[in-house]
Amino acid sequence: MTNRMQDKIVIVTGASSGLGRATAELMIAEGARVVIADINQAAGEAVANTIGAEFVRVDVGIPGEVDALVAGTVARFGRLDVMCNNAGVIATTPVVETTDEDYDRMVTVNFGGVFYGTRAAGRVMVEQGFGVIVNTASNGGCSPSAGMAVYSGTKAAVVALSKACAIELAPKGVRVNTISPGTMLTGMVPDVEGIVEMLDKIQPIGYAAKPSQMAAGVLFLASDEGNYVTGHDLVVDGGATAGRSAVGV
């Protein structure tokens, strides 16, 4: 590792598992001090102990809890360099069968959580005159799938929100980008027999991503290597949304 995040103060939401955990681990390996924030206290504390992070239990869908997370981090470390708004949830159902509860949960966590986190971090970063925000969207935002209407909608909204924020905050020294992962084998993938083989097969690159491959994209956006990148949606999906396969292939 090359100390690309040396002494940076980083918050990662949804870091009890999957991409959030991989991001937190990579940030620490690159020299950062990381606060992981998640609704799952037991898993979050276990991960924090294992990787050397601090843990705060937060429901990102509750604005006061997100504000307190950011305020507590700044009180503890004196500043906030990077905010990764990554927590997300999914329910896969045909649109006509989507319940009000599932709709509310996805909109509140996937879109609301990113908005609350961007707003809270943005306030601090504007005051500081520097900072980077990386929001997790999905390749389902730019290329939606059947059975994921609301999920895809929230992810497209995350990209639009982040681009608008990037334009607003660029003159204040704050960069805002999104990462749009393709399929990763995480807690979000249902535990169904044969699913791994099926998901591997439908990726042009031949296998579903490991969270660490996605975290590398987050690191690029968050680090100084990406210091001229803002308002960008970095799609990391093994070619899944690049176009159609040739007929018969």
What amino acid positions are annotated as catalytic residues?
151
Provide, rounded to whole angstroms, the least separation between the CB of residue 205 and ligand NAD: 14
CB of 235 to ligand NAD, least distance (A): 10
Looking at the Cβ atoms of 61 and 238, the one nearer to ligand NAD is 61
Q: How many CB atoms lie within 10 A of CB 107?
A: 17
Chain centroid to CA 202: how far?
A: 23
β-bridge pairing 33-38 and 131-136: unpaired
Nearer to ligand NAD (CB atom), residue 24 or residue 170: 24
Q: Which residues bind ligand NAD (CB under 6 A)?
A: 13-14, 16-20, 38-40, 58-61, 86-89, 109, 136, 138, 181, 183-184, 186-189
DSSP secondary structure letters along 146-207: TT-HHHHHHHHHHHHHHHHHHHHHGGGTEEEEEEEE--B-STTS---TTHHHHHHHHSTTSS
Q: Report which residue's Cβ sits closest to ligand NAD.
A: 18
Buried/exposed code over 109-148 (b: 16+ C-beta within 10 A; e: otherwise): bbbbbbbbbbebbbebbbebeebbbbbbbbbbbbbbeeeb
